[in-house]
A = this chain, B = another copy of it.
Amino acid sequence: MEDRELRTLNHLMYMEYYTGGNAGLFMKMKQLVYSFQSPFQRIDIFEHPEFGMVLVLDGITMFTEADEFMYHEMLVHVPLFTHPNPKRVLIIGGGDGGSLREVLKHPSVEEAILCEVDPYVIDAAKLHLKEMSVELDNPKASIFNENGADFVRKNKDYFDVIIVDSTDPTAGEGGHLFTKEFYSNCYKALRKDGIFCAETEDPFYDKGWVAIAYNRISSVFPISKMYTGFMTTYPSGMWTYTIGSKELDPLEDYDEERVLDFGAPLRYYNTEIHRASFALPTFLKELTGQF
């Protein structure tokens, strides 16, 4: 099948239209490797000549193998190095396994729960995304295929860290994960020094959702801080993440020594980046009311 496609197609032009519909990223794909309409969303995996595999859900690029490390390291290690001893971690979304892979680099973690609503994403990742899915069968990991908002509601005072690795609020199941009710239930599911962290979109194409997500999270958690990271194949390349915390501050309670002693290899995150990522450009402070 691969040979036939290569003979009949020069390349597939993939175009992702960003919010507003007037700009976006195009990628010349070598081939479509996997395509399936699950009960929740359309799942496509392409092979790109430079970026490796590319996962697309409902027409939105989730990552390319060439730069997913930027997103997964920033989403996971900022909260996990803020908490002094994370043992129980919940990941909501993230069926590809990239966030789980980063969480399990922390030796303190005893139990990592992945709550991914769509089992077909997990199956596709195991088949085609070897670098992402490497820890999906780790004995410390449990996988639940249910709605993340429902799952959180059933847990109280249990997790040290909750990570929201969701699709966009406007796509598929992502919308449930951007409500105040959901953030409140995450608060209750966390232990007394628990930390919540979510991806909160980009402030160039999706200004509105950045402000909404930050304001809702900060209305629930006593400590809330936005940080940014480069994510080179996401809209605008400028990605925001928001920490919500019950008592630990990601700058004041951050233990550099643990990072310096960390055994696992990291390609983006380091101690300087941890601190620097909380410095926000003036327009982003204004957008979110953080002064």
In the complex, chain A residues 49-92 whose Cβ is within 8 Å of any chain B Cβ: 49-51, 66-67, 69-70
Give the contact stretch, choosing among A114-122, A157-165, A264-272. A264-272
Cα A65 to Cα B279 in complex, Å, equals 24
Cα A213 to Cα B20 in complex, Å, equals 36
| 11 extra A-B contacts, CB within 8 A, seeds A267-B281, A269-B281 | A20-B50, A22-B27, A22-B50, A22-B51, A23-B27, A202-B232, A204-B232, A228-B230, A230-B237, A233-B236, A273-B281
- A24: chain B residues within 8 A (beta carbon): 25-26
- A234: chain B residues within 8 A (beta carbon): 237
Cα A110 to Cα B288 in complex, Å, equals 37
In the complex, chain A residues 5-58 whose Cβ is within 8 Å of any chain B Cβ: 15, 20-28, 48-51
> Would you give the 0/1 interface string for A128-160, flagging 1 where the beta carbon is closer than 8 Å to chain B?
000000000000000000000000000000000
User: Considering only CB atoms, which chain B residue lies closest to A270 in the complex?
Assistant: B282
Answer yes or no: A113 CB below 8 A from chain B CBs.
Answer: no
Minimum CB–CB distance from A105 to chain B (whole Å) comes to 14
- A15: chain B residues within 8 A (beta carbon): 26
Per assembly, the copies of the chain total: 2
Minimum CB–CB distance from A25 to chain B (whole Å) comes to 6
Answer yes or no: A109 CB below 8 A from chain B CBs.
Answer: no
Minimum CB–CB distance from A63 to chain B (whole Å) comes to 13
- A21: chain B residues within 8 A (beta carbon): 28
In the complex, chain A residues 225-271 whose Cβ is within 8 Å of any chain B Cβ: 228, 230-234, 236-238, 266-270
Contact residue among B67, B276, B282 (Cβ-Cβ distance under 8 Å from A268):
B282
A/B interface sample: 10 pairs, CB < 8 A: A22-B48, A22-B50, A202-B232, A266-B282, A267-B283, A269-B281, A270-B281, A270-B282, A273-B279, A273-B281
Minimum CB–CB distance from A145 to chain B (whole Å) comes to 33
- A220: chain B residues within 8 A (beta carbon): none
Answer yes or no: A280 CB below 8 A from chain B CBs.
Answer: yes
Cα A243 to Cα B282 in complex, Å, equals 22
Cα A283 to Cα B270 in complex, Å, equals 10
- A237: chain B residues within 8 A (beta carbon): 230-232, 234, 236-238
Contact A51 B23, beta carbon cutoff 8 Å: yes
- A236: chain B residues within 8 A (beta carbon): 230, 232-233, 237
Cβ-closest 8 pairs across A and B: A237-B237, A276-B279, A276-B276, A272-B279, A232-B236, A230-B238, A204-B232, A268-B281
Knowing A230-B237, A267-B283, A276-B275, the reply to whether A26 touches B27 (Cβ < 8 A) is no
Contact A49 B22, beta carbon cutoff 8 Å: yes
Minimum CB–CB distance from A39 to chain B (whole Å) comes to 31
User: Considering only CB atoms, which chain B residue lies closest to A274 in the complex?
Assistant: B279
